């Protein structure tokens, strides 16, 4: 068998051996330690990157320090029970133990720096219309076919080693 023909046969066999991709099922918002309303904050003009700063190496869009939140909430809704909980975390200098909604497998590298800051992708591309939600659930698929489809739509590279360590 010639190498190109062998490659085609192996590729066909692998394709038949792979199970069909699982259908994406959205998940409701998890219970969080504090009620946080993205819609309210977005309506007040707060942008994603105002709270979710992307720090080097750029693989995460982090959470704001509780003291940052208290910069506004020392005077805005300060009598709210949820803000009282936030104030307690800030006073104790403890981070709020937020429950992550989107989590990639360890075999995947994703750069918020590249997608958001360099390619100017809107956060809603991966996370859904968060600014319209009071609570955030797993709304969009972050499985490989969804990512590759997005890369195709925006004519971005789709090489394996872009997201996976091939060594």
Per-residue pLDDT of 1-43, as tens digits, reads 555 665 555 555 655 555 666 789 999 999 999 999 999 999 9
What is residue 15's predicted lDDT score, i.e. its pLDDT? Answer: 55
**Contact present, 109 and 93 (Cβ < 8 Å):** no
Distance of CA 45 to the CA centre of its chain: 21
| Percent of the chain with pLDDT strictly greater than 90 | 77
Per-residue pLDDT of 126-159, as tens digits, reads 999 999 999 999 999 999 999 999 999 999 999 9
Stated pTM of the model: 0.78
55-93 confidence digits (pLDDT tens): 988 888 989 999 999 999 999 998 999 999 999 999 999
Q: Which token pair is 56?
A: 């080097």
Sequence spans of domains, the chain: 26-63+98-162
Q: What is the DSSP string of 42-64?
A: HHTT--HHHHS-B-TT-S-B-PP
Q: What pLDDT, on a 0 to 100 scale, did the predictor assign at position 165?
A: 84
């Amino acid at each position: 068998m010639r190498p190109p023909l062998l490659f085609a046969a192996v590729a066909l066999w692998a394709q038949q051996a792979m199970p069909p991709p699982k259908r994406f099922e959205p998940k409701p918002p998890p219970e969080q330690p504090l009620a946080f309303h993205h819609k309210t904050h977005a309506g007040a003009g707060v942008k994603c990157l105002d709270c979710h700063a992307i720090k080097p190496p750029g693989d995460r869009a982090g959470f704001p320090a509780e003291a940052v939140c208290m910069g506004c909430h020392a005077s805005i809704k300060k009598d709210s029970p949820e803000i009282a909980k936030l104030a307690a975390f800030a006073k104790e200098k403890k981070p709020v133990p937020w429950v992550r909604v989107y989590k990639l497998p360890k075999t995947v590298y994703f750069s918020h720096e590249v997608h958001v800051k360099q390619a100017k992708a809107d956060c809603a591309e991966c996370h859904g219309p968060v600014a319209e939600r009071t609570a955030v659930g797993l709304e969009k698929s972050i499985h490989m076919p969804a990512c590759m489809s997005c890369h195709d739509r925006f004519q971005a590279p789709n090489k394996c080693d872009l997201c996976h360590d091939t060594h």
